[in-house]
Amino acid sequence: MAIAYLNGEWMAPEDAKVSVFDRGFMYGDGIYEVMAVYDGKVFTLEDHLVRLKRSLSAIRLPSPHTDGQWRSIINEAVLRGNETPAYLYLQVTRGVGSPRSPVYPVVSKPTVLITVMHAPVLERIEIRPYKMVTKQDFRWGRGDIKVISLIANGLLKNEALDEGFDDALLFRDGELTEATASNVFMVKDGTVLTPPKSNFLLHGITRDHVLGLLAVAGVRCEERAISHAELLVADEIWITSTGSEVWPVGQVNDCVIGDGAAGVVWQLVDRLFQASKE
């Protein structure tokens, strides 16, 4: 059973309605988080709460709840949703403002929406490495804020799909940033590389979790700039996100990565990641 929480009320997701004057609808003026629920528990909840507060503060929207209140609403949503595995989606907008004014309302009552929906379980055998295409990252300069305005990400993803690929790998000034809804890792000669955190990419919770697992396992990792040429000769590439966890990439443009199948370091990371859910 899926559930929605909207501004203090519980309901079926299809019954949740917001005003046409909501600034989320009018201006895309809001932020969000996506969390995974495994075995009835929100995975890496505390990290998501930290990023939620960071995003709110970056868009100058005071948090409508304390950490304790967020935890208790989120945990109640998981209980009421009674789905596992599931995705918990949390969105906060600046609420209803005067129609068509970019000026922030003096007193804003943020709109808070949380939904919990069933997530598919993937057998490892079903994991098929992605075919990715490289594209210019033309998004705005604050990819580190998890904003609800995903127009550019959607355009890039759909261009990639129309060209016969699964997704796009994005480059800004010749350096890899991320994919349209995930962070990117590559492996070269046994070292794992991923772009450093900056204002041009989302500071993925899964990215940090994977770096932590690799550090414990003693695998050498470097957070540094990755060029287009370097990426194309990677031994392995994977993307990471809450939804895709750690997903292998077998092809970039017309270059096969490794032998096109999920690599040995991916196998290790996937094993560590699956174990870390327990």
Residues that bind ligand PDD (CB under 6 A): 34, 153, 178, 181-183, 202, 204-207, 240-243
User: DSSP E strands: which ranges in 49-129?
Assistant: 86-93, 111-118
Minimum separation from the CB atom of position 50 to ligand PDD (A): 11
Nearest to 205 by CA among 276, 139, 141, 109: 276
Round to whole Å and give the CA distance between 12 and 1. Answer: 9
Q: Which is nearer to ligand PDD, 77 or 181 (CB)?
A: 181
Q: Which is nearer to ligand PDD, 104 or 273 (CB)?
A: 273
Minimum separation from the CB atom of position 99 to ligand PDD (A): 29
Q: Which is nearer to ligand PDD, 81 or 195 (CB)?
A: 195
Given the residues 146, 157, 188, 197, the one annotated as active site: 146
Nearest to 7 by CA among 104, 76, 73: 73
Round to whole Å and give the CA distance between 169 and 44. Answer: 26
Minimum separation from the CB atom of position 121 to ligand PDD (A): 17
Minimum separation from the CB atom of position 33 to ligand PDD (A): 8
Contact present, 187 and 193 (Cβ < 8 Å): yes
To the query of whether residue 146 is one of the catalytic residues in this protein, the response is yes
Q: Which is nearer to ligand PDD, 96 or 179 (CB)?
A: 179
Nearest to 133 by CA among 253, 256, 257: 253
On the question of a cis peptide bond just before residue 85, with omega within 30 degrees of 0, the verdict is: yes
Round to whole Å and give the CA distance between 136 and 122. Answer: 31
**Which residues are marked as active site?**
146
